[in-house]
Structure 1
Amino acid sequence: MAVKVLILEDNPVARGFLCRVVRESFSDIHSITEVSDLDAARRLLGHPPGGRAAPGIDPFQLIMVDLELPDGSGLELLTELANYPATRIVTTLYSDDEHLFPALQCGADGYLLKEDRFEVLVEELQKIVRGQPPLSPAIARRLLTHFRSGDSVAPLSVASPPSAAAPATVMMTADHERLTPRESEVLTYLSKGFTIKEIAALMGIKWFTVNDHIKSIYKKLNVSSRAEAAVLASKQGLV
């Protein structure tokens, strides 16, 4: 099954540009659906305003969302996509904290600036296949500057750290037991340094399915990076 893409963008010129970026970024595109407002996106995803989008028989694997739309904010849709198994990327002109951090907190998996050059956006979008967050260079620098300067921001992770009463080793064992066999296999490959595309080839599945497994692994193990997952895998004797 090839990748289905949904692009939510009200500007037709920008929408066409993003379509070209997507086609250049992936070789296995099934279709690209373009919509210009929240209402149209919700109809496609099958949920009302304020509801939760649920995957149907043939769900989208990649959803690109503009923040400022004629009928509301793209942040609304990001929140409604909390349980939807797609990679969610914000595409916007805004690089300030007031737009960046709320988007990440609402569930964005990446943040791209539409003003970037075509080849830069293609390169950043392709990072999805390698298991890296697609972030425009200016956004990546902004995040580094923000945290290195000691600025405070609400936690971006949904998971809570283990309590003092529960040793980390106990938490890891319990969490690892909740992984499915497929997730354990993906974790093993991740720990050995394979990319998402390589894992997909080894397991005979699509890259976006591997990406879904990785998201589930991170959530269950209460980690936010490949390195943290690798440490847990090593302690569990998987590598």
Structure 2
Amino acid sequence: MAVKVLIVEDNPVARSFLCRVVRESFSDTIVITEAGDLESARRNIALQSGSTAVAPSDPFKLILVDLELPDGNGMELLGELARYPATKIVTTLYSDDDHLFPALQCGADGYLLKEDRFEVLVEELQKIVRGQPPLSPAIARRLLTHFRHGPTGGGDSGFTPLPSSGFQSSRPMPLGKGAPLDHERLTPRESEVLTYLSKGFTIKEIASLMGIKWFTVNDHIKSIYKKLNVSSRAEAAVLASKQGLV
């Protein structure tokens, strides 16, 4: 089955560029839907303005969202897609804190700058396959500086995460001594994915071994992280080993 991708971008040249980036990034069969404004995006997702999208039977697996659109702000769409099971990546020209952090709070799983070279964007987007957040190099440096020194050089970052909405982009609580263990809720498929993760296999290798799409493996990993209350494969592997899950 083809992987469905939605690109929300009002500039036709930028939209065509992003289409090429997506097709170059993944070996799967890709079906791309293009939307030039919020209304078109909502229509393609079967989403009414102001409502919250839920998962259809065949959802988009990847959504690229521009922040400035003719009929509104892309952050509106991110908020409406809080429960939608897609990897949501902001693609924008804005690299400032006033756009970056609100976008992450609204549920963005990555943040890419359209001004980056084609090869850089492809490399960053491919990180999804490895279970890493796609971040333009300038954004990664900005995040590091922000949380290390704070926006004005102090120790307080000024960034307050939103309460968890059930979507994986909201960072789970750190794994601690009293962290709850819900391994009994893992499905057989999730347990199999966790076993492979613990052995160091990449998402693409797991997909090949299990005979499923890597986007499906990515969905399983998100569910595992949420159920085990962890935020990385290292934490998941350690917890699984301690509890005898693998």
**TM-score between both structures, scaled by the size of structure 1:** 0.91
Contact 1:104 1:156 in 2 (8 A): no
Of residues 210, 213, 227 in structure 2, which corresponds to 1:206?
213
1:73-124 CA-partner distances (Å, limit 9, x unpaired): 1111111111211111000011111111111111111110000000000000
- Alignment match, 2:6: 6
Deviates more, 1:115-124 or 1:184-193: 184-193
Superposed displacement of residue 160, structure 1: 6.5
User: For the residues of structure 2 that align with 1:199 and 1:81, how far apart are their CA atoms?
Assistant: 27
Q: How does 1:17-28 map to 2 (within 5 A)?
A: 17-28=17-28
Contact 1:3 1:28 in 2 (8 A): yes
C-alpha change, 1:109 and 1:181, in structure 2 (3 Å) is same
C-alpha change, 1:230 and 1:63, in structure 2 (3 Å) is same
Superposed displacement of residue 152, structure 1: 3.2
Which residue identity lines up with residue 124 of structure 2 in the other structure?
Answer: E
Which residue identity lines up with residue 229 of structure 1 in the other structure?
Answer: A
- Alignment match, 1:103: 103
Please say if 1:80 is aligned against 2:80: yes
- Alignment match, 2:146: 146
Superposed displacement of residue 135, structure 1: 0.7
Please say if 1:36 is aligned against 2:36: yes
Contact 1:65 1:90 in 2 (8 A): yes
Contact 2:173 2:230 in 1 (8 A): no
User: For the residues of structure 2 that align with 1:129 and 1:15, how far apart are their CA atoms?
Assistant: 22
Contact 1:4 1:59 in 2 (8 A): yes
Superposed displacement of residue 19, structure 1: 0.7
User: For the residues of structure 2 that align with 1:203 and 1:185, how far apart are their CA atoms?
Assistant: 9
C-alpha change, 1:120 and 1:157, in structure 2 (3 Å) is farther
- Alignment match, 1:51: 51
Contact 1:19 1:32 in 2 (8 A): yes
Please say if 1:168 is aligned against 2:174: no
Q: How does 1:58-69 map to 2 (within 5 A)?
A: 58-69=58-69
1:125-168 CA-partner distances (Å, limit 9, x unpaired): 11111111111111111111111223231126726648x9xx61
**TM-score between both structures, scaled by the size of structure 2:** 0.89
C-alpha change, 1:64 and 1:219, in structure 2 (3 Å) is same
Contact 2:23 2:30 in 1 (8 A): no
User: For the residues of structure 2 that align with 1:8 and 1:206, how far apart are their CA atoms?
Assistant: 24
SS in 1 for 2:39: helix
C-alpha change, 1:12 and 1:26, in structure 2 (3 Å) is same
Which residue identity lines up with residue 42 of structure 1 in the other structure?
Answer: R
Gaps of 5+ in 1: none
Of residues 163, 178, 182 in structure 1, which corresponds to 2:185?
178
User: For the residues of structure 2 that align with 1:132 and 1:30, how far apart are their CA atoms?
Assistant: 20
Please say if 1:218 is aligned against 2:228: no
SS in 2 for 1:123: helix
Percentage of pairs with the same residue: 80
SS in 1 for 2:128: coil
Which residue identity lines up with residue 9 of structure 2 in the other structure?
Answer: E
Which residue identity lines up with residue 192 of structure 2 in the other structure?
Answer: E
SS in 1 for 2:4: strand
- Alignment match, 1:196: 203
User: For the residues of structure 2 that align with 1:155 and 1:230, how far apart are their CA atoms?
Assistant: 26
User: For the residues of structure 1 that align with 2:159 and 2:140, how far apart are their CA atoms?
Assistant: 16
Instruction: Report how many residues are paired.
Output: 233
Superposed displacement of residue 238, structure 1: 2.6
Contact 1:45 1:54 in 2 (8 A): no
User: For the residues of structure 2 that align with 1:213 and 1:157, how far apart are their CA atoms?
Assistant: 22
Gaps of 5+ in 2: 150-154, 165-170
